[in-house]
Amino acid sequence: MTDPNAIQPSALDQLPDRDPEETAEWQASLDAVAREAGPHRAAYLMRRTLERAEAGGVALPKLLETDYVNTIPTSAEPALPGDPEMEARITAWNRWNAAAMVTRGAKHGVGGHIATFASAAWLYETGFNHFFRGKEQDGSGDQLYIQGHASPGIYARAFLDGRLDEAHLDNFRQEAGGNGLPSYPHPRRLPWLWEFPTVSMGLGPLSAIYQARFNRYLTNRGVKDVSASHVWAFLGDGEMDEPESTAALALAAREELDNLTFVINCNLQRLDGPVRANFKIVQELEAQFRGAGWNVVKTLWGSAWDELFALDTTGALVRRLRQVPDAQVQTYQTRDAAYIRQDFFGADPALAEMAKLLSDDKILECFHLSRGGHEARKVYAAYKAAVEHKGAPTVILAQTVKGHTLGEGFASKNANHQMKKLSVDEFKAMRDLLELPIKDSDFTDGVVPYGHPGADSPEVRYLQERRAALGGPAPARRVHPLAPLPAPADKAFAAFDKGSGSQNVATTMAFVRLVKDLVRDKETGKRWVPIVPDEARTFGMESLFPSLGIYSPKGQTYEPVDRDQLMYYKEAKNGQILNEGITEAGSMADFIAASTAYATHGEAMIPFYIFYSMFGWQRTADQMWQLGDQLGRGFLVGATAGRTTLTGEGLQHADGHSPVIAATNPAALSYDPAFAYEIAVIVREGLRRMYGEAKPGEDQNVFYYLTVYNEPLPQPAKPAAPGVDEGIVKGLYRFNTADTAGVTAPANAPRIQLLGSGTAIHWTLEAQRLLAEDWGVAADVWSATSWGELRRDALEADAALLRGEERVPYVRQALQGAEGPVLAVSDYMRQVPDQIAQWVEQDWSSLGADGFGLSDTREAARRHFGVDAPSIVVAALAQLARRGEVKATAVKEAREKYGL
């Protein structure tokens, strides 16, 4: 049996010991300390030695955990600048108004959260008073990701400095009247205040990392120097359970993003109870962030603990703090001094002796109130250390009490996240604790009053002076007056009008070729931000590597293996392509940062993010909703789209539903172009709408979703008929008729209208030929470039009718007078084309690829789903047979003829 006390082999055993005698002396010294002073002293010395080695640059593995104490000792804390008493009064007013706002709103049943800001007030106030830069100096300032549940505190501060009034606060979570405040940070709902939506847990930290990274990208590419901008992300310790919260920690450390600080409010509670009931979340997070390469600053204990640590001559207090699980710390918060003496101090004789020197009041002050996150000086020291640290991002782990200052009914209670109001008596107790000049008579009819010291009060003047010194109000979103970007030359778009002749070209390739031409544009080329998650070669984008370069803050420190090839893998500090590796979530975070640079930094950027369509909306629809909330602009491109175009890839790669999910996002303009010239028209219109001259009443804050395919097929020339471009943009135009398609059908033949989108139009055109040649049926073929835009227009027409305005949906106008029934076909589930059925006057039917995808050839998959050309023919004949326009037997004959 192996001796558990024996020294186990390690990597060091592979190295020759140049001085075994010296090694033995060190080991003997350690053994002696452990024997004479105890293992705790030995462990202490080893930790301090490792810390010294790390500080001196000695290459050793990092310590993943430190003691459960403040990283910055009291003796090393810098003096708190400004007027601490004034800042305390300001914070008291903000605490009061945040609680009052939610309590008053509770009378209307709209809810709200009180306890989060109560715990985090000093984390925000210290930043607003001393660190967070506004936008009035360089147009960028700092980027603040506010924890969603803390929004009442931010509104309270905006009320104090005059940006909001009582009417706004009374309309918290009541937006329908037009003067309300959204529940959480929602830029689309309050675009002058909020920059970043964060309440979808985990997306805030992920986006903050990529925003800090994008700031470096802008600077390194020479678009704008935003090196002074700092990204602050305020998070909850419970939120860190979300996979997205920690998904990009290594990226931030690898790229040395010292322009980024996470502030994690460790109040030890999530929505239903303790974050780590039987463990310690602070220690877990410290190890996780240190292991990822972050600088970690722990701000755990307030100044009341200084006396206790001074008495801890044996280290017993520090050891006990490491032992006690978080849920028990919460219990101490609610128990009396006698319980704490017995349970905490009674666990160790040395602590029991220490407790004899402490009064009950001292014990309660420490265990009930004194946390590092509740003291401005402690928080200031942590923030200062964070902004001065170079070479790595910083995370501040600030311990607080959830519900702090709200009274014994709130503090550390498991249910406090769901508690929406305080009673009048609780407010009066809070008033006395905060020493606010609010009279009992101000509580009219039991309604808690808002508090304000006056627009010209010392508190407001101080607040405004501090913000002026830091560059203006924060948070604040500013859309700087930007000149519309000049439209690229028509040549890039017109190149697709003639078609590809006999050459087979996939629409994915057509899109890449278009972008390749657009990034060469002298005026706007540098503003394109190509984003791809490690699939550039799949999409034929490797030709962009040497010309644009792949962004890397390190440049290229190696000789690429393919350096002698024309399309070699080129990384560059000023590279334009963001190649993110296998992370759709990271790529979407990139896209969001780039798509909102027009507001964040006053620089219009044109991102396009190209991805496997199956791995876009299905995986990251929450981020696409975030994108819409943040008013982002750009092009999302779902490549290798459709349920039947990926030969052999199978169920989890076969996208038959992304347009359905896209249709749920009001900011998404979803297109399924069939031909290269359609892509050119859509991209040109997208550039005009999002970045050019907007039409009256047109919302520029939209983004485009294009599905493109990997199936090489001949690309036809653009029809010369009038209105084609308008039809492409609006979603439907007639590609050809039975008469112009070169197929022969008898005079007075039955007629049907075939609507196809994306790659399905090719099967539709083949069905047009079969219908004419085999069954004497004339079919007109329409290209449905956007079922979603047709529906959006129809819904707007319906709404106009309810207002008494006469409007006919575009789809009805386009199909007006078209003979026969309509059969719609797509490579997606039937729900995609069916979304316009109610506005089509003709008889309607549809075909689609419903169900799970499968591995096989394209032809076999299309036969399986019943969307290939023969299946379309059978479906068309069935429609006509129901109308009595062809014989009923024709349907059976067609099935037998085509082997269906």
- For 377-425, the pLDDT digits (tens) are 999 999 999 999 999 999 999 999 988 988 776 654 555 455 557 889 9
What are the angstrom distances between the C-alpha of 510 and each of 111, 543, 645, 679, 714? Answer: 51, 13, 16, 8, 11
H or E element in which residue 13 lies = none
What CA–CA distance (Å, rounded) separates 86 from 462? 8
What CA–CA distance (Å, rounded) separates 865 from 674? 20
CB atoms under 10 Å from CB of 69, counted, come to 18
CB 114 within 8 A of CB 98: yes
Is the Cα dihedral 305, 308, 313, 319 positive or negative? Answer: negative
What CA–CA distance (Å, rounded) separates 402 from 414? 9
What CA–CA distance (Å, rounded) separates 627 from 667? 9
DSSP string for residues in 15-42: S--S-HHHHHHHHHHHHHHHHHT-HHHH
**Of 640, 811, 831, which Cα lies nearest the Cα of 733?**
811
- The three-point CA angle 621-622-626 to 5° equals 115
CB 175 within 8 A of CB 105: no
Contacts of residue 318, Cβ cutoff 8 Å, sequence gap at least 6: 67, 68, 69, 309, 312
pTM, whole model, 2 decimals? 0.94
Burial 338-359 (b: 16+ CB within 10 A, else e): eebbeebbeebebbeebbeebe
* Rg of the chain (C-alpha set): 33
What does the chain come to in residues? 900
DSSP string for residues in 502-520: T-EE-HHHHHHHHHHHHTT
Would you state the pLDDT for residue 13? 52
CB 775 within 8 A of CB 873: yes
CB 780 within 8 A of CB 734: yes
Helix (H, G, I), strand (E, B) or coil at 77: coil
Strand partners, 262: 233, 395
Q: What would the pLDDT profile of 485-502 be if each residue is shown by its tens digit?
A: 999 999 999 999 999 998
Would you state the pLDDT for residue 410? 62
* HEC per residue, 557-617: CCCCCCCCCCCCCCEECCCCEEECCCCHHHHHHHHHHHHCHHHHCCCCCEEEEEEEHHHCH
Would you state the pLDDT for residue 698? 93
Rounded to the nearest 10°, the torsion over CA 895, 896, 899, 900 is 30
* HEC per residue, 427-482: HHHHHHHHCCCCCHHHCHHHCCCCCCCCCCCHHHHHHHHHHHHCCCCCCCCCCCCC
Is the Cα dihedral 740, 741, 746, 748 positive or negative? Answer: negative
**Of 711, 647, 704, 642, which Cα lies nearest the Cα of 676?**
711
CB 633 within 8 A of CB 593: no
DSSP string for residues in 158-214: HHHTTSS-HHHHHTBT--TTSS-B-SS--TTTSTTT------STTHHHHHHHHHHHH
Is the Cα dihedral 779, 784, 788, 793 positive or negative? Answer: negative
Helix (H, G, I), strand (E, B) or coil at 692: coil
What CA–CA distance (Å, rounded) separates 579 from 560? 16
Would you state the pLDDT for residue 417? 52
What CA–CA distance (Å, rounded) separates 401 from 403? 6
CB atoms under 10 Å from CB of 222, counted, come to 9
CB 620 within 8 A of CB 586: no
Which stretches of the chain drop beneath a pLDDT of 70?
A: 1-15, 59-60, 409-420
What CA–CA distance (Å, rounded) separates 150 from 184? 8
Residue 50 DSSP label: H
**Of 563, 565, 569, 527, which Cα lies nearest the Cα of 544?**
569
CB atoms under 10 Å from CB of 266, counted, come to 29
Sequence letter at residue 751: R
CB 445 within 8 A of CB 424: no
Contacts of residue 627, Cβ cutoff 8 Å, sequence gap at least 6: 588, 591, 592, 595, 667, 703
Number of Cα atoms under 13 Å in the Cβ half of residue 476: 23
Widest pairwise Cα distance in the chain: 109
What CA–CA distance (Å, rounded) separates 847 from 772? 20
Strand partners, 612: 639
* HEC per residue, 380-412: HHHHHHHHHCCCCCEEEEEECCCCCCCCCCCCC
CB 329 within 8 A of CB 427: no
What are the angstrom distances between the C-alpha of 230 and each of 127, 209, 364? Answer: 12, 11, 38
Q: Is the peptide bond before 475 cis (omega within 30 degrees of 0)?
A: yes
For the purposes of burial, counting CB atoms within 10 Å of the CB of 598, is it exposed (0-12), middle (13-18) or buried (19 or more)? Answer: buried
CB 94 within 8 A of CB 149: no
Task: Work out whether strand 504-505 and strand 713-714 pair parallel, antiparallel, or are unpaired.
Answer: antiparallel
What CA–CA distance (Å, rounded) separates 754 from 737? 10
